[in-house]
């Protein structure tokens, strides 16, 4: 079980120039986490790449708190592009233009006063391929927390994060060993632990199990079920069965448009749109 023992208040914002304001609503407190609105409220978001290709068109979607939302769709439908836009990762791709709003605690994360580093701490990302730092298992957790201003008990943070990722029992006796010596599935759980160590509110996951074997996939799917009691999880997956197994809500994107967004059970049993039906039943895509 998850042991969320570490207080968010142990994070102290690192020194920033006075000219860079800190998002007021991004100071996490328990009350923030208990409010009723969506975890992320995306409004009319469009994303255009430098070559003029519009990858996402006018996306409006409210992600419910502490639940798993799967984004599905054929290759090139814009799902990964959309996911990266939720925590401003697309800004790292030169020439990418994002319009619309991504409201987090009512604040547009694209607002001029918002620090993208803070956004990415509060809205974490786990990628398709495990990408641990070439450091020890311990440092993989500690490093990110340290540079983000963690002042609490580091050993405690490392343990609780690894426990959250269901990895503690497997690595507790080898924390000083290189993370690169872990198996692929363990590395991916380490990356999840690393994201959890920053105490995000939302975890974005871009096909986090596509490079893993069935057993490792199963462990991570089970893990998501536990993590959603603490975090809001938005996962992009090509695996329709996985979306059906793990998610509470599912969004279907097709050629940059949101076609259908519904409770997963409904979408997989009685989809409303013919295109959804054809895609999830494997008749195109």
Partner 1 sequence: MTDRTRLSGELSRIDDLIGEMAAKAGEALRMALLAMKTQDLELAKRVKTGDAEIDALQVEVEDIASITLATQQPVASDLRIMVAAFKVAADYERAADYAVHLAKAAKKFAGEPRSRLVERLARMAELDGKMMKGTAEAFRTRSPELAASVAAMDDMVDAEHKAMIDEVLDMMRERPDEAERAAKLLTTSGYLERLGDHMTNACESVVFMVRGTRVDLNE
- Which residues contribute to the site for partner 1 (CB under 8 A)? 240-241, 244, 268-271, 276-277, 280-285
Task: Name which of 176 and 283 has its Cβ closer to partner 1.
Answer: 283
Taking the complex as a whole, how short is the minimal distance between the CB of residue 244 and partner 1, in angstroms? Answer: 7
- Tokens (6 digits) for 189: 């759980």
With b meaning 16 or more CB within 10 Å and e meaning fewer, what string describes 86-103? Answer: bbbbbeeeeebebebbbb
The DSSP letter of residue 207 is S
**Distance, CA of 19 to CA of 188 (rounded, Å):** 37
Task: Name which of 182 and 280 has its Cβ closer to partner 1.
Answer: 280
Task: Name which of 53 and 272 has its Cβ closer to partner 1.
Answer: 272
Task: Name which of 107 and 262 has its Cβ closer to partner 1.
Answer: 262
Taking the complex as a whole, how short is the minimal distance between the CB of residue 241 and partner 1, in angstroms? Answer: 5
Taking the complex as a whole, how short is the minimal distance between the CB of residue 281 and partner 1, in angstroms? Answer: 5
Task: Name which of 112 and 241 has its Cβ closer to partner 1.
Answer: 241
In this structure, are residues 102 and 269 in contact, taking their beta carbons and an 8 Å threshold? no
Taking the complex as a whole, how short is the minimal distance between the CB of residue 268 and partner 1, in angstroms? Answer: 5
In this structure, are residues 264 and 250 in contact, taking their beta carbons and an 8 Å threshold? yes
Select from 86, 88, 100 the least CA-distant residue to 58.
100
CA atoms within 13 A on the CB side of 274: 0
Scanning the chain, the segments in alpha helix (DSSP H) are: 30-34, 79-86, 116-122, 137-147, 154-164, 168-171, 184-197, 214-227, 240-246, 264-269, 274-280
Task: Name which of 90 and 250 has its Cβ closer to partner 1.
Answer: 250
In this structure, are residues 137 and 173 in contact, taking their beta carbons and an 8 Å threshold? no
Task: Name which of 68 and 167 has its Cβ closer to partner 1.
Answer: 68
For residue 31, count CB atoms less than 10 angstroms from its CB and return exposed for 0-12, middle for 13-18, buried for 19 or more. exposed
**Distance, CA of 155 to CA of 175 (rounded, Å):** 10
Taking the complex as a whole, how short is the minimal distance between the CB of residue 43 and partner 1, in angstroms? Answer: 29
Taking the complex as a whole, how short is the minimal distance between the CB of residue 152 and partner 1, in angstroms? Answer: 45
Taking the complex as a whole, how short is the minimal distance between the CB of residue 271 and partner 1, in angstroms? Answer: 5
């Amino acid at each position: 079980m998850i042991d969320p023992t570490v207080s968010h208040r142990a994070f102290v914002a690192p020194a920033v120039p006075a000219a860079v304001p800190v998002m007021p609503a991004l100071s996490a407190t328990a009350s923030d986490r208990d409010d009723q609105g969506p975890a992320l409220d995306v409004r009319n978001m469009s994303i255009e790449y430098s070559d003029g290709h519009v990858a996402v068109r006018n996306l409006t979607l409210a992600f419910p708190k502490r639940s798993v939302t799967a984004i599905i769709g054929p290759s090139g439908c814009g799902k990964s592009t959309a996911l990266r836009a939720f925590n401003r990762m697309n800004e790292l791709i030169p020439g990418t233009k994002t319009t619309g709003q991504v409201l987090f605690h009512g604040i547009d994360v694209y607002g001029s006063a918002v620090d993208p580093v803070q956004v990415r701490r509060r809205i974490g990302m786990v990628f398709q391929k495990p990408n641990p730092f070439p450091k020890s298992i311990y440092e993989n957790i500690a490093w990110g927390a340290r540079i983000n201003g963690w002042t609490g008990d580091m050993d405690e943070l490392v343990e609780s994060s690894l426990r959250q990722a269901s990895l503690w029992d497997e690595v507790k006796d080898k924390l000083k060993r290189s993370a690169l010596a872990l198996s692929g599935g363990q590395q991916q759980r380490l990356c999840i632990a690393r994201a959890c160590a920053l105490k995000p509110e939302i975890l974005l996951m871009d096909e986090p199990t596509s490079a893993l074997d069935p057993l490792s996939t199963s462990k991570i799917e089970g893990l998501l079920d536990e993590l959603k009691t603490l975090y809001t999880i938005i996962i992009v997956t090509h695996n329709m069965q996985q979306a059906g197994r793990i998610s509470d809500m599912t969004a279907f994107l097709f050629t940059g448009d949101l076609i259908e967004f519904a409770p997963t059970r409904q979408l997989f049993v009685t989809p409303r749109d013919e295109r959804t039906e054809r895609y999830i039943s494997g008749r195109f895509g």
